[in-house]
Amino acid sequence: MTQSETRLEGILLDEGLTVTFSELTQLCGSNTRMVSLMVTEGLLRPQGALPEEWRFDGLEVRRARRAVRLRRDLKLNIAGTALAIDLLDEIEHLRERLRVLEHQLGQRQARPIR
């Protein structure tokens, strides 16, 4: 790779995807203890009662990966990470609502006045 080249890597996640506890730790580059803490803190909400039964959908995988990055990059504890993830989710939700409202407003303004 030359100096001017940039390497970009990522994982494409399907929201319908379901992964096991072990697979999630691999996908988010974390360990079982940290993922268990994320579940205990309410950051992740797996399906199933026991860790051996836990299944995580694509959105949970995305949350886990984001949480691991925040913990690493910002040196947050698990409670701070959970708060940050919740706030980021709320911002995304509000942006989507704003986009829909702006779209609706634009349609109303484009209608001819009778």
Q: Cβ(68)–Cβ(56) under 8 Å?
A: no
pLDDT band at 15 (very low <50, low <70, confident <90, very high): low
What is the reported pLDDT for 106? 84
From the options 3.30.70.640, 1.10.1660.10, 1.25.40.10, 3.30.420.40, give the CATH code of 18-110: 1.10.1660.10
Q: Cβ(67)–Cβ(85) under 8 Å?
A: yes
DSSP state string for 63-93: HHHHHHHHHHHH---HHHHHHHHHHHHHHHH
Looking at the predicted structure, is the pLDDT value of residue 108 above 90?
A: no
29: which DSSP letter?
Answer: T
The pLDDT tens digits for 49-72 are: 999 999 999 999 999 999 999 999
Averaged pLDDT of the chain: 87
What is the reported pLDDT for 8? 45
Cut 0.85: pTM above it: no
